[in-house]
Amino acid sequence: MSARTVLHQADIARALTRISHEILESNRGADDLVILGIPTRGVLLAERVAGLVSQISGQDIPFGALDVTLYRDDLGRHPTRNPQPSRIPAGGVDGKTVVLVDDVLFSGRTIRAALDALGDYGRPRVVRLAALIDRGHRELPIRPDFVGKNLPSALDERINVRLTELDGDEYVSIEGADA
């Protein structure tokens, strides 16, 4: 199998730290920030980013999970997906700066669904998007505000994100279709 590791654990940590600084910079501080991860691995990344932003800013940043399963436009094209619980922080999202966090940004359809889901919880002042990996091939006019790594890829390649909490080890690899 021709899997090539593109980010090691330390690279992931550095990328998340940089993203956390960039979030604080673009928001001019930590006021009204809410960090929401998209299940499954986006939630783990959101928790880490919220921890880092809290640590850097000295303010407690609320974070949660935003499940998009019930908002997807491709439910009829795949086996039935199980929804995951959404957890919206007690303060809600109205008037907040919401940063959506996902592991891999690809077609943009997940983010489209996330924006619809978010709208049903309230009206954020601003919504930003952070992705650990941007692999290109967008099918919708969506772009990330904060990127861990741009990873140009062929459509038939696979990007694997593995995180310690869920997978036991931690890296990002790219896998060729010819493997």
Partner 1 sequence: MRHLLSTRDLDRAAAIRLLDIAEDMADTQLREVKKLPTLRGKTVVNLFFEDSTRTRISFEAAAKRLSADVINFSAKGSSVSKGESLKDTAQTLQAIGADAVVIRHGASGAPRTLANSGWIDAGVLNAGDGTHEHPTQALLDAFTIRRRLRPGASRGAGLDGVKVTIVGDILHSRVARSNVWLLDTLGAEVTLVAPPTLLPVDLAAWPARILYDLDVAIDEGRPDVVMMLRIQTERMRDAFFPNPREYSRRWGLDDERLARLGPDSIVMHPGPMNRGLEISSRAADSAMSTVREQVSNGVSVRMAALYLLLSGNTEEGS
Minimum CB distance to partner 1, residue 80 (Å): 3
> Toward partner 1, which CB reaches closer, 81 or 137?
81
> Toward partner 1, which CB reaches closer, 121 or 157?
121
4 binds partner 1 per the rule CB under 8 A:
no
> Toward partner 1, which CB reaches closer, 111 or 151?
111
Tokens of 82: 């199980």
Question: What is the distance, to the nearest Å, from the Cα of residue 120 to the centroid of all Cα atoms in its chain?
Answer: 19
N-term to C-term CA, the chain: 5
What is the rounded CA–CA span in Å between residue 28 and residue 40?
29
* CB atoms near residue 33 (< 10 Å): 23
- Region near partner 1 per CB under 8 A, out of 9-17, 22-30, 112-120, 124-132: 112-120
- Region near partner 1 per CB under 8 A, out of 4-12, 27-35, 68-76, 140-148: 68-76
Peptide bond into 40 cis (omega under 30): yes
160 binds partner 1 per the rule CB under 8 A:
no
Helix H or strand E encompassing 64: strand 63-65
Question: What is the distance, to the nearest Å, from the Cα of residue 173 to the centroid of all Cα atoms in its chain?
Answer: 17
> Toward partner 1, which CB reaches closer, 61 or 68?
68
Count interface residues toward partner 1 (CB under 8 A): 19
- Region near partner 1 per CB under 8 A, out of 19-27, 41-49, 83-91, 154-162: 83-91
Apex CA 136: angle with CA 118 and CA 27, to 5°? 45
Binding site for partner 1 (CB under 8 A): 67, 70-71, 75-86, 116, 119-121
